[in-house]
Structure 1
Amino acid sequence: MASLQDQFMKAGLVSKGKAKQLNQDKSRQQKLDRKSGVQTVDEAKQAALEIQRQQAERARELNAQRDAAARQKAIEAQIVQMIQQHKQAKLTRGAAEVAYNYTHDGKIKRMFVSAQVRDHIAAGHLVIVCQGEAAELLPKTIGDKIAERDPARVVYVKQAEAPAEDDPYADFKVPDDLMW
């Protein structure tokens, strides 16, 4: 295989005299380097190595971003699957016995449920989870798993509140199913 210099000479880009002069200069520089013990720094080689390092770093960053996006997409798919598999039946407005009110994004929202389901929500056995614009009822264990993956999805979870020690109204509990 011909060297790059030979290829340039065949293409007419470099004359034979210019190629000979470059070879002599190169060998002279190498001889001086050997005698002095100092190596010259090839700036082009250093620049190429720096560019290669930067490209590798950029590739690592892009791969990390791509991996993070893939992980987030997988978590989202897991959440949707859990919601679809474990959602509890809700009633339509006409068949509902009770309207259950809860807050989400600073707004009071209403869900129509049976009295038995309302009692389960109030007792903390069911949680309200948001999927898009819809709210679904899920068992508390599934709601906890979803909260581990995306806490913003779980809209309402009944919290067991311990009364303060010096609370004069500790004996008078406010019912959870109080109608608004």
Structure 2
Amino acid sequence: MAKANPLQEQLLKAGLVKKSKVAEVAREQHKAKHAKAASGPSEIQLEAERARAEKVERDRALEAERKTQARTAELRAQARQIINDRKVPRTGESEYRFVVDGAIRTLLVNDDLRRKLSSGALVIARIDDRFELLPRPAADKVRERDASMIVLDHGQATGSEPEASTSEDDAYYAQFKVPDDLMW
């Protein structure tokens, strides 16, 4: 008992407590004091750990978003490069009209280009504010990278829904025979 409490000393001198009882109380106080510190992390430490974990998760999410944006920008740049490298020169005086974003656009083409466009051998792609003609293989490569750059493609299937309805229609109309000599 190097450092005794002044109250404990007074109680000892007055004979109200025994020396062994004072030592026991001091040991209990010492254990209680040190047991609290070793019992576990405090509320502040838990909150700090939670904040650190949230920051790590936020940083991870931001990094994933940055990587996604970088990958999208890279694919868009590749698509632009394909369009610039593989575009078909447009010649002709005939106007070819098509709808993009609710507005009617016009390209000047010749008869050969018009046939290729309508058959799906050529596709119209948008790069910035201009439109370019692309052959089908190049258009497929552009579509893999950024499908929004392809604005007109007559050769692509529009989905399975219309095909299913036409097969039902064909089955229904098969019961009606059309004469061979019918003239329209």
Change (3 A) 1:43 1:81: same
Tell me if structure 2 keeps the 8 A contact 1:97–1:115: no
**Structure 2 residue 136 is matched with structure 1 residue 140:** yes
Provide the C-alpha distance between the structure 2 equivalents of 1:46 and 1:26, rounded to a whole number of angstroms.
25
Secondary structure at the counterpart of residue 125 of structure 2: strand
Sequence identity, in percent? 26
Cα shift readout 1:82-110 (whole Å, capped 9, x = no counterpart) = 1011001013xxxx231111111122211
Secondary structure at the counterpart of residue 75 of structure 2: helix
Cα shift readout 1:41-76 (whole Å, capped 9, x = no counterpart) = 422221221121111011111101111110111011
Listed as ranges, the matches of 1:20-169 within 5 Å are 29-30=33-34, 32=35, 39-91=39-91, 96-159=92-155, 164=166, 165=170, 166=173
For 1:97, the aligned partner's letter is E
Tell me if structure 2 keeps the 8 A contact 1:128–1:136: yes
Tell me if structure 2 keeps the 8 A contact 1:83–1:138: yes
- The structure that has the greater radius of gyration is 2
Secondary structure at the counterpart of residue 99 of structure 2: strand
Aligned length: 136
For 2:114, the aligned partner's letter is R
Give the equivalent residue in structure 2 for 1:7: none
Tell me if structure 1 keeps the 8 A contact 2:119–2:155: no
Give the equivalent residue in structure 2 for 1:9: none
Instruction: Tell me how far 1:150 sits from its aligned partner.
Output: 2.2
Change (3 A) 1:160 1:50: closer
Change (3 A) 1:160 1:142: closer
Cα shift readout 1:9-31 (whole Å, capped 9, x = no counterpart) = xxxxxxxxxxxxxxxx987522x
Provide the C-alpha distance between the structure 2 equivalents of 1:152 and 1:78, rounded to a whole number of angstroms.
14
For 1:65, the aligned partner's letter is E
Provide the C-alpha distance between the structure 2 equivalents of 1:80 and 1:70, rounded to a whole number of angstroms.
15
Provide the C-alpha distance between the structure 1 equivalents of 2:72 and 2:52, rounded to a whole number of angstroms.
30
Secondary structure at the counterpart of residue 158 of structure 1: coil
For 2:145, the aligned partner's letter is R
Give the unaligned 5+ runs of structure 1.
1-24, 169-180
Change (3 A) 1:26 1:107: farther
Tell me if structure 2 keeps the 8 A contact 1:99–1:110: yes
Provide the C-alpha distance between the structure 2 equivalents of 1:158 and 1:72, rounded to a whole number of angstroms.
26
Secondary structure at the counterpart of residue 97 of structure 2: strand
RMSD (Å) for aligned C-alpha atoms = 2.8
